[in-house]
Amino acid sequence: MSDVKHALRTAFAAATKHLGIDPGEIPVQEVPAGKPGDYGTPLAFALAKALRKNPAEIAASIVAAFEPPEGVLRAEAVGPYINVFLDPGAFVAGIAAGAPDAEPRDRKVIVEHTSVNPNKEAHVGHLRNIVLGDAVARILRADGYQVEVQNYIDDTGRQAAESLFAAQYFAQTPPGEDASEKLDHWYGRLYVQLGEAKETDAEAIETGVRDTMHRLEAGELRREVERIVHAQLETFWSLGAEYDLLVWESDVVDSGFLARGLEVLEASPYVSKPTDGKYQGALVMDVAEFIPGLEESTVVLVRSDGNAVYVAKDIGYHYWKVGIFEGLAYAPFADQPTGSTLWTSHPAGEAHPVGQTFAHGQEIVNVIDVRQSHPQTLVRAALALSGTPEGQEASRNTKHLAYEVVTLEGQAMSGRKGVTLAIDHVLEEATRRAAAVVAEKNPDLEDAETVARQVGLGAMRFAMLKSEAKRIIDFRWDQALNLQGDSAPYVQYAHARAASILRAAGEAGVDATAADWATLGPLELTVAQQIARLPEVRAQAARELAPHLIAQYALDLATAWNAYYNHRGEDGKPDTPVLRAEPGLREARLALVAAVKRTLADALALLGIDAPEAM
RNA sequence: GCGCCCGUAGCUCAGUCGGAUAGAGCAGCCGCCUCCUAAGCGGCAGGUCACAGGUUCGAAUCCUGUCGGGCGCACCA
């Protein structure tokens, strides 16, 4: 909510007082193009019933009592709507001064994302998870939260075991650091081959995989899994994602989180160990009160053979995340591209390196695909059943950001069958395509390689973020790597244009200090109104965990700016030059351009997309 | 069978928690660089907002039902 909108709410409320009725929350919105005024409210509709008068009459009487706040010229009743006219100069001057950062919240959010099985290269299905999680983390941080990002490593699962056993089965030696094929790709290939070999040698393979799972649980293969994780991290980093902590499933189990979580749950009246019937010998939880409408509300936590199911581990992990118990130890794992240290849970680590706990999240965001909705609900139910006040609170504050799958040219992807598209390949191709366009459009560009990477990666990230998470994305090369239209390059180009003007202004020695704001008009105002929206859009995106709102906003602002840039007067000639404008007007427009550039860059940054100075 | 999600232009999607003539991009057609980057801009054409009821001054948006599509519901992970 911009300051002006806020001031208008107050002013409308005051102007409504004489009617003797509480209008409640007053909506203030941008006036549609073609209607008189700049901001307006449909407030009169809401009052019409109680006052038993027609809305237009009410609007007129509110207008009569309206005292314009600073920067607002006057109000006018447009039928039942009450619209106000802004002073363009004052408004743009306010925008040029910049928007304040969000208030720090002193509230910690743990965002869990990526969590790719450590047995193969990441593909475009994972790409959506990584980019979505990374964008949400950035947005929450910008909205004032303290954010920590965790990446869960399922190192005791079947998939890791299959890949590691495949090397043994095919008597292959994993490549070293300097090999031409990345280690994660290498294992991914063998993983698929093992799947094929199962058709003829199922029993031997099953025995080998089981044996490997035991070795994984015993920690014997940790070093090799770490090498795979390092290889995967190269991909994640190249996308611009970084993490605070890796949490290994084996460490979660070794730290006793599974056992302690079950202990907590056993005290709950909803958890029992039936001595007869279908669930004899198992530990089960009744979730009927938490998930209404289930035919079968009994969930098994520990099988009658004594083995815990997967969700039980996840429950233990979440009890730790929200601070019901402690116990992980940590060690540094890697230095990340921007210089931050990535930590990992580790059996031989220390409890509180640099005073960090990595737990005690007051809000939990789990970026996991929609097919995991059921187990996620079980985790939330288990938090509520913990019998602790933290658990109750945590259950409410744990959010599952459920995103839909990515299909490949209409086909479901399958890591098992090798029907995938590796992120590394897509990024390479995206950069190649961007480089070709750069070479064509701007052959003299310095740092063409860097720009090509920024544009190619930007296009990829934007393609994953511009629609709602619940929308299925069908990955198609020409759409995902689109460099025009509704895309990151469109926004980046708008930014580069603004940068270009500011660069030329700097060379000409023009700066914004001599601005004559009174020379500005409705064209500048329209752009400035778009700029003013970012803080409220950002707040909404944070509230709803919806990066697509930022992407759509960035497109809107770029469109408004491009339209302004290309605007022509009635004579058909450009009428919005900046540097060629009269002194005073020139400086005022320049200040607007600076605000456009800054805001475009800010919006892109929330999506993890770089804004090149030239392209 | 039960639960969740989706159905808006030929295609891919927005649609400001119920408001003003339903907006973009791609595809099609027509224009715009003696002017700060044409990866751009302007225009034309294209929609019974799946369907039927209901609530409301007002519904793409809320409620109910129907149809169509996707996903989930194991002592799997």
CA dist A11 and A71 (Å) reads 12
- In this prediction, residue A293 carries a pLDDT of 67
Please name the residue whose C-alpha is nearest to the C1' of nucleotide B23. A556
Please, which residues bridge with residue A81 across strands? A78
Say how far residue A369 (Cα) sits from the centre of its chain. Answer: 14
**Where would I find the H helices in A442-487?**
448-465, 477-480
Percent residues over pLDDT 70 in chain A = 99
Q: What is the mean pLDDT of residues A266-278?
A: 91
- In this prediction, residue A2 carries a pLDDT of 60
- In this prediction, residue A511 carries a pLDDT of 82
Nucleotide nearest to A533 (CA to C1'): B16
As a rounded value in angstroms, the CA-to-C1' distance for A42 and B19 is 7
- In this prediction, residue A613 carries a pLDDT of 98
Which pLDDT band holds residue A467 (cuts at 50, 70, 90)? very high
Could you tell me the pTM of the whole model?
0.97
- Please tell me whether any atom of strand B lies within 7 Å of the Cβ of A605: no
Tokens 């737990």 sit at which residue?
A: A359
Residue range A63-86, pLDDT digits in tens: 999 999 999 999 999 999 999 999
Beta-strand relationship, A363-369 and A108-112 = parallel
**Where would I find the H helices in A97-238?**
124-142, 158-169, 183-217, 222-238
CA dist A529 and A390 (Å) reads 43
CA dist A317 and A378 (Å) reads 13
ipTM for this prediction: 0.97
Nucleotide nearest to A310 (CA to C1'): B77
Which pLDDT band holds residue A418 (cuts at 50, 70, 90)? confident
- Please tell me whether any atom of strand B lies within 7 Å of the Cβ of A293: yes
What are the backbone dihedrals phi and psi of residue A331, each rounded to the nearest 5 degrees, phi first?
A: -145, 155
- Please tell me whether any atom of strand B lies within 7 Å of the Cβ of A437: yes
| Contacts of A532 by beta carbon, 8 Å cutoff, 6+ apart | A2, A4, A5, A91, A95, A99
Tokens matching residue A45: 């509709």
Say what angle helices A534-544 and A124-142 make with each other, to 10 degrees: 120
Q: What is the DSSP letter of A345?
A: E
What are the backbone dihedrals phi and psi of residue A84, each rounded to the nearest 5 degrees, phi first?
A: -120, 150
As a rounded value in angstroms, the CA-to-C1' distance for A126 and B66 is 37
Residue range A216-233, pLDDT digits in tens: 999 999 999 999 999 999
Residue range A309-358, pLDDT digits in tens: 999 999 999 999 999 999 999 999 999 999 999 999 999 999 887 778 89
Beta-strand relationship, A341-345 and A245-248 = parallel
Distances, alpha carbon A172 to alpha carbons A165, A179, A473, in Å: 10, 14, 37
Residue range A555-573, pLDDT digits in tens: 999 999 999 999 999 888 9
- Please tell me whether any atom of strand B lies within 7 Å of the Cβ of A448: no
- Edge-first strand listing for the sheet containing A298-302: A271-272, A283-286, A298-302
Distances, alpha carbon A308 to alpha carbons A259, A359, A376, in Å: 9, 23, 17
- Please tell me whether any atom of strand B lies within 7 Å of the Cβ of A238: no
Residues 39-68 (A) near nucleic chain B, CB < 7 A: 40-42, 45-46, 48-49, 55
What are the backbone dihedrals phi and psi of residue A362, each rounded to the nearest 5 degrees, phi first?
A: -85, -20
Is residue A42 within 8 A of residue A27, CB to CB? The reply is yes
Nucleotide nearest to A313 (CA to C1'): B77
CA dist A311 and A388 (Å) reads 20
DSSP track, A540-600: HHHHHT-HHHHHHHHHHHHHHHHHHHT-B-TTSSB---STTSPTTHHHHHHHHHHHHHHHH
Residues 496-525 (A) near nucleic chain B, CB < 7 A: 496-497, 499-501, 504
Q: What is the mean pLDDT of residues A230-254?
A: 97
What mean pLDDT is reported for chain A? 94
**Where would I find the H helices in A239-326?**
249-254, 257-266, 310-322
Which element (helix H / strand E) includes A151? strand A146-153
For residues A222-245, one letter each, b for 16 or more C-beta atoms within 10 angstroms of the residue's C-beta and e for the rest, the string is bebbbbbbbbbbebbbbbbbbbbb
Residue A599: what residue type?
Answer: T
Percent residues over pLDDT 90 in chain A = 85
Please name the residue whose C-alpha is nearest to the C1' of nucleotide B6. A471
Which pLDDT band holds residue A1 (cuts at 50, 70, 90)? very low
